Structure 1
Amino acid sequence: MMLEHGNARRRVAGTGLASSRTRFERRAAAARRRPRLVAGVLAALMLGAGLLVWVGWFSSVLTASRVEVHGVSAGASAQVRAVARVPLGGPLMRVDTDAVAQRLIAGKAWSAVTVGRGLPDTVVITVTPRVAVLAVRNPRGEVDVVDRDGVAFRTVGSAPDGVPLVSSGSAQVTKAGVEAALGALGSLDPSLRADVSGVSVSTADQVSFTVKAKGEKRKTVVWGGAADGKRKADLVKILLPEPGSTIDVSVPSSPVTR
Structure 2
Amino acid sequence: MAEETAAPEGTERAAAEGPPPRLRLSRRGTAVVGALGALAAGGCVWLVFFSPVLDVRAVAVTGTAKLTPDQVAAAAGVDPGGPLARVDTDAVRRRITGRLRRVDRVEVWRGWPHTLRIKVVERRPVAAVAEADGRFTEVDAAGVRFATGPAAPPGVPVVRLVLDQAARDADAVIPQRELVAAAVRVAGDLPPAVAGKAAAVEVHSYDDIELRLDGGRTVRWGSSERGPRKARVLTALLGHRARTYDVSAPEAPATAG
TM-score class normalised by the smaller sequence: 0.7 to 0.9
Residue 101 of structure 2 aligns with which residue? 108
Residue 252 of structure 2 aligns with which residue? 254
List gaps (5 residues or longer) in structure 1.
1-7
Does the CA contact (< 8 Å) of 1:167 and 1:173 recur in 2? no
Does the CA contact (< 8 Å) of 2:135 and 2:150 recur in 1? yes
Residue 17 of structure 2 aligns with which residue? 22
The sequence identity of aligned pairs, in percent, is: 35
Residue 174 of structure 1 aligns with which residue? 177
Q: Distance in 2 between matches of 1:203 and 1:50?
A: 70
The two structures, once aligned, show a CA RMSD in angstroms of 3.8
Letter of the 1:98 partner, please give it.
D
Letter of the 2:83 partner, please give it.
P
Structure showing the higher helix proportion among its residues: 1
1:1-258 correspondence runs (5 A): 19-24=14-19, 26=20, 29-30=21-22, 32=24, 46-72=38-64, 76-106=68-98, 107-138=100-131, 142-168=135-161, 169=163, 173-174=176-177, 177-178=180-181, 180-204=182-206, 206-212=208-214, 217-240=215-238, 241-243=240-242, 245-258=243-256
List gaps (5 residues or longer) in structure 2.
none
User: What's the offset of the Cα at 1:119?
Assistant: 1.9
Does the CA contact (< 8 Å) of 2:159 and 2:184 recur in 1? no
User: What's the offset of the Cα at 1:220?
Assistant: 1.4
Q: Distance in 2 between matches of 1:36 and 1:112?
A: 56
Does the CA contact (< 8 Å) of 1:176 and 1:205 recur in 2? no
Letter of the 1:196 partner, please give it.
A
Give the structure with higher Rg (CA): 1
Q: Distance in 2 between matches of 1:238 and 1:18?
A: 96
Secondary structure at the counterpart of residue 174 of structure 1: helix
TM-score by length of 2: 0.75
Number of matched residues?
241
User: What's the offset of the Cα at 1:136?
Assistant: 1.6
Does the CA contact (< 8 Å) of 1:83 and 1:103 recur in 2? yes
